[in-house]
Amino acid sequence: MEKDTQPDVVSSVLKVFGIVDALSEQKEIGVTDLAQRLMMSKSTIYRFLQTMKGLGIVAQEGETDKYRLTLKLFELSARALEYVDLIELANKEMEEISKQTGETLHLGTLDGNEIVYLHKIDSTYNLRMYSRVGRRNPSYSTAIGKVLLSAHTDDEVETLLKEVEFIPHTANTLKNIEELKQELALVREQHYAEDKEEQEVGLHCVAAPIYDRFGHCIAAISISLPLVRFEKENLTHLVDLLHQAGRNVSKQLGYQHYPVAE
């Protein structure tokens, strides 16, 4: 069944990009003109335009049949380019921390109510955290997730996680939204977060924020190490390394007011 429908799906995608390409060539264009240019029926063009309108990709000019592109595609492409720059900039800082500690480093961002790892540098030790770029984890049980959630108000966090079940990955996992909000208050105060064996037994993680030029917390850098190598007395040093890295990346992204002074 999938093989039979695949050509139709590909054809639909090509038609959508044809519409986008045509709309990009002039400020606004009508259904009739689009149909003639793309050699498609007006009903097909209209159906695609209504779907694209619902997605915020195009806008209709008043009550007319003319449509134009919105800035949605620009927003998406700008965001993608920002992440390319972000990964490149963060990698330099992460490599420096890796040289000093030999531990696992992650760069992550929030996608919906989960975090996704954008970049990783493996530990040089045999005993280390196993993960991969692109992997998702809950935001409520990870240091990166807590940093990113702390940039939102409690009401926003409740909305974001309203459908999320707080699964007890370990005995230390936060049990509910109220416990999480209490911890986020501390994260906002100290500008870093910890995962104290909340996602994986025997693993301690610390994370610090990265800001874009508008002061939005768009990502976080974390260091993960097994408890056998984690010393509480060394926490301040690890936090300082992460804050320095977060500050440097944020500056290069155009943000000069990192919340923790050098």
Condensed to tens digits (0 to 9), the pLDDT of residues 17-35 reads 888 888 888 778 888 988 8
Question: What CATH code is carried by the domain that includes residue 34?
Answer: 1.10.10.10
Q: Quick one: 99 and 189 in the same domain?
A: yes
- Whether the CA torsion 216, 254, 251, 205 is positive or negative: it is positive
Residue 4's pLDDT is 45
> Would you say residue 127 lies in a domain?
yes
Q: Quick one: 63 and 110 in the same domain?
A: no
Exposure letters 181-220 (e unless 16+ CB within 10 A, then b): bebbeebeeebbbbbebbbbeebbbbbbbbbbeeeebbbb
Summarised one tens digit per residue, pLDDT across range 137-195 is 999 999 999 999 999 999 999 999 999 999 999 999 999 999 999 999 999 999 999 99
Question: What CATH code is carried by the domain that includes residue 149?
Answer: 3.30.450.40
Range of the domain at 231: 83-251
| Tokens found for residue 108 | 């992550």
> Would you say residue 256 lies in a domain?
no
Q: Quick one: 159 and 237 in the same domain?
A: yes
Residue where one domain finishes, among candidates 79, 99, 119: 79
Q: Quick one: 186 and 213 in the same domain?
A: yes
Number of domains in the chain: 2
Q: 0.75 exceeded by the pTM?
A: no
Summarised one tens digit per residue, pLDDT across range 220-233 is 999 999 999 998 89
Residue 9's pLDDT is 67
Summarised one tens digit per residue, pLDDT across range 76-121 is 776 665 666 899 999 999 999 999 999 999 999 998 899 999 999 9
